[in-house]
Structure 1
């Protein structure tokens, strides 16, 4: 049965709403801009990638101070097509987890991204849902806690979920996300400049059996017995981007540091009444941007390696939750020239 479990992620990218239709031949903008876009070429591409979303909890848990949670992931294969304003990507996980499920548990997960650009703006919506985590080296918790042969405590119901709305503004017209990604465009020379990412995020971690296996911990605090921890946050991350293409070898880095205003909460059951108790707080949190990309990108084809990192964190005094989403992928694509039928001009009588 596990071989028929596939996750299909479909992302539509509408990037041509403000663009004029081409006439079959690409406009060479390299005299004024350091990149070229192949709007009228048919781009077919495929990719193989690995993604992960580990997190850790820090607190005074008696004899230890940290719990490390790890999902059991699969390699991801993807295929895509892009032509003019339309782009479609289909990604699905390959059969068999990277780690043996009887040792590390099994993770069901879903990732999706919707993105589009307009002039100096780039908009992105990210969605993640991961269910099934294992606590590594769980022997520190208790001698009586049930473990796999690899000393992992598995919680199949533990779920992390997030939705992020992001708007990037590029202050310099030489910065172009489509050319930086390298599918429907490429850079031809050096470019750099500042950008600003504004965002609104929702994320949580939950398990009705408890996020922390607190039944094996002496005198757990209220937050340690929580079955749900979540946050709503908004803020901005100023950053700097550098891109270049030297003899076909293209590379780029986007990096930034900013902050978030958070409305955070945790929910636990009152030990006497069994009713849910919700406690909420306001706070601040740092946020880091990091995207690194490199590879070979010329007019007809490209081979690009991309690494993306995203971090979620919530603090309740000494209790800290920190999760890192990262994706490392290798993408190959070819750009085909499409012959368009010229419109017949009506002659004057």
Structure 2
């Protein structure tokens, strides 16, 4: 009875510690959310005045685009004892071809994976997926959203039978999450110029960024993730991982401008996340609460001329979690090749963008007028 009581006391103490950590993280996130909401409100106001010698906006212009894109989510299992036994799964997803448009703050894209640009490998199995990614680049902030649902993967890492893929149609991933980042040097640095090419960076500039993220994901299969192959013998038979994380971020973004029209952009952000992970094997479940870093990267390069642009963009968001004898790494993002053309909004295009102009006039201009009419506090 004494041992049982001691165990109960230890469990209660661990629960209090975990609850205390959770309360602290929630308090920090609520403060960050309040700041981000205030920044997002200011971000939509016309009173934001940027340094026109550093980047140019195209107010009154309509940006049309033609692009090729590939979205992805990749689960990797890295054994802590022997990293040579890396288990890397990949989805068999198509390259999509699409069209889109940007006017003021509104961007719409539509794409489809046509057969004539995809050479599907039947020996890699089939992947069914719904990938809802949104990357919103404001004047002072960036907001990313991930809603990814994938079923069916193949093993990319080595097997004892080269040339034959190990296929897992039963493996599935569901992930919902997002990130917010505030841009401190927003007067001189434009994320839109680098990632959307709806603006034009004239001089090299960068900015410190800070924000937070929250992600929830589940990966599961009918049997162990570990392949039935001698190369992976002795590894734990994991078949389900449930993961939730949130925490603050700090990063830096920079755009290098060469020969007036050529640009190269890079951004790296680190997140210090509180992780709640539950992993399952046929022998039982294991829960863990840890604080670990996650990472997010963006890269873009191309030509941005006054009337047209051509660029390649890459977004990569990485989740890390300790699960028994593995480090689980889940990577999400997209790779895109884009061609843009800018058109002044004349009488023919005016009727198509009228709802955006109406919203700007009725909402943004009223808010600006109220701010101008309100005297500053002493």
TM-score by length of 2: 0.70
Match of 2:102 among 57, 82, 89: 82
Q: CA deviation at 1:189?
A: 0.9
Q: How many residues align?
A: 305
Match of 1:280 in 2: 287
Structure whose residues are more often helix by fraction: 2
Match of 1:170 in 2: 183
Change in CA separation of 1:245 and 1:61 when aligned onto 2, cut-off 3 Å: closer
Match of 2:298 in 1: 291
Instruction: Work out whether residues 190 and 201 of structure 2, in 8 Å CA contact, stay in contact via their aligned partners in 1.
Output: no
* 1:58 to 2:78 alignment: yes
Match of 1:160 in 2: 173
Q: CA deviation at 1:216?
A: 8.6
| 3-state SS of 2:44 partner | coil
Match of 1:192 among 195, 206, 212: 206
Q: CA deviation at 1:100?
A: 1.5
* 1:243 to 2:255 alignment: yes
Match of 2:265 in 1: 252
Gapped runs of 5+ residues in structure 2?
1-39, 351-378
Question: C-alpha root-mean-square deviation of aligned residues, in Å?
Answer: 3.3
Match of 1:324 among 302, 323, 331: 331
Q: CA deviation at 1:319?
A: 1.8
TM-score by length of 1: 0.76
Match of 2:133 among 86, 106, 113: 113
Match of 1:274 in 2: none
Change in CA separation of 1:217 and 1:60 when aligned onto 2, cut-off 3 Å: farther
Gapped runs of 5+ residues in structure 1?
1-13, 22-26, 141-146, 271-276, 342-349
Match of 1:18 in 2: 44
Per-residue CA distance 1:30-67 (angstroms, 9 max, x = gap): 54x511121311111011123443332233899x8332
Match of 1:304 in 2: 311
In the alignment, the residues of structure 2 paired with residue 302 and residue 56 of structure 1 have an alpha-carbon distance, to the nearest angstrom, of 35
In the alignment, the residues of structure 1 paired with residue 103 and residue 45 of structure 2 have an alpha-carbon distance, to the nearest angstrom, of 13
Structure whose residues are more often strand by fraction: 1
Instruction: Work out whether residues 35 and 185 of structure 1, in 8 Å CA contact, stay in contact via their aligned partners in 2.
Output: yes
Per-residue CA distance 1:51-95 (angstroms, 9 max, x = gap): 443332233899x83323222221121210122332211122232
